[in-house]
């Protein structure tokens, strides 16, 4: 099996490593637009060959689209077009963090069924080929969105791919996916960005930030290191869901603000006790 990976960043690079190492792919081809990233990926031997897009599409059995979601939405129709001229037995999957828009983009494409929409829920706050690592996906959840739109054989092949990566499959419709990830994943990033901005704004003495950043602050602000290329399209594509969650979040902050301003200890205690319920869910 030849796997082609478009985008050799954290996700694409990590997939390349494990799919090759674990024998799923005999050959891994990579496509990378950024010349520095491409050179690094070559040097780090993330893939067997870095090739031009067309060559990758023509030689690969499965194509993994691992680019920011704005780019993926633009590229996917062209990839399916190229599959059409090639006979239509190839498979393309994407790994993007929003699913509604990309699924709508190709809903009526004649080769829609050769596309499998997935979201492997794994990552770190780092990006680029140098962030790629083996084992990144082990034990994490992978969402298959609108899987009934994919050809059963194509779906089965992609399920095998994620099985090799040790991911737990979860099936969901694309719009539900975007609602749930807004609640659980996207809002965490926004709150983390806002926290970093607040601290950078208020605390002009960087030495103090470093000294006082006990484990608590570092872990809460960790996601604020995530890059704009990935997150601008996620936040704009999932706009309505993200705005709803931000509104609820600001409401909760205001409840805290009011209770603290009024010195209402009982109310602060109730809010914290309620927040503590998250313990039961996350182990």
- Considering the rule CB under 8 A, would residue 14 count as an interface residue with a second copy? no
Which 3 state secondary structure label does DSSP give 47? Answer: coil
Task: Indicate the residue among 30 and 70 with the shorter CB distance to a second copy.
Answer: 70
164 is a site residue for a second copy (CB under 8 A): no
Q: Are 88 and 109 in contact (CB under 8 A)?
A: no
> What are the Cα distances from residue 171, in Å, to 104, 116, 139, 145, 174?
17, 12, 16, 6, 9
Stretch that binds a second copy, among 44-52, 53-61, 154-162, 246-254 (CB under 8 A): 246-254
Beta-strand ranges (E) seen in 7-68 are 27-31, 49-50, 62-65
- x/- track of binding to a second copy for residues 60-99 (CB under 8 A): ----------------------------------------
How many Å apart are CA 217 and CA 51, to the nearest integer?
A: 42
Q: How far is the CB of 262 from a second copy (least distance, A)?
A: 10
- 243 is a site residue for a second copy (CB under 8 A): yes
The interface mask with a second copy, positions 201-240, x = CB under 8 A, is xxx--x-xxxxxxxxxxxxxxxxxxxxx--xx--xx--x-
Does 265 interact with a second copy (rule: CB under 8 A)? yes
CA angle 177, 178, 179 (to 5 degrees): 95
Task: Burial-class residue 210 by CB neighbours within 10 Å (0-12, 13-18, 19+).
Answer: exposed
Considering only residues 178 to 197 of the shown chain, the ones binding a second copy according to CB under 8 A are 180-181, 183-185, 187-197
Shortest Å, Cβ 280 to a second copy: 8
């Amino acid at each position: 099996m030849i796997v082609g990976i478009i985008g050799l960043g954290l996700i694409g690079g990590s997939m390349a490593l494990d799919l090759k190492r674990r024998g799923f792919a005999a050959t891994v081809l990579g496509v990378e637009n950024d010349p520095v990233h491409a050179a690094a990926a070559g040097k780090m031997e993330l893939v067997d060959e870095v090739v031009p897009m067309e060559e990758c599409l023509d030689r690969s059995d499965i194509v993994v689209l691992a680019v920011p979601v704005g780019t993926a939405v633009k590229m996917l129709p062209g990839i399916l077009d190229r599959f059409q001229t090639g006979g239509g037995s190839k498979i393309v999957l994407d790994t993007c963090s929003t699913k509604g828009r990309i699924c709508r983009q190709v809903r009526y494409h004649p080769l829609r069924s050769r596309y499998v929409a997935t979201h492997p829920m794994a990552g770190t706050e780092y990006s680029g080929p140098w962030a790629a690592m083996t084992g990144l996906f082990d034990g994490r959840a992978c969402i298959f969105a609108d899987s009934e739109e994919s050809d059963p054989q194509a779906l089965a092949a992609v399920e095998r791919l994620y099985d090799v990566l040790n991911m737990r499959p979860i099936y969901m419709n694309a719009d539900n996916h975007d609602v749930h990830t807004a609640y659980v994943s996207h809002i965490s990033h926004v709150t983390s960005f806002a926290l970093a901005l607040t601290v950078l704004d208020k605390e002009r003495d960087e030495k103090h930030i470093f000294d006082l950043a006990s484990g608590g602050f570092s872990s809460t602000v960790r996601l604020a290191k995530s890059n704009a290329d990935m997150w601008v399209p996620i936040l704009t594509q999932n706009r309505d869901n993200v705005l709803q969650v931000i509104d609820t979040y600001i409401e909760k902050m205001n409840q805290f603000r009011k209770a603290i301003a009024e010195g209402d200890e009982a109310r602060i205690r109730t809010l914290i006790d309620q927040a503590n319920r998250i313990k039961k869910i996350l182990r």
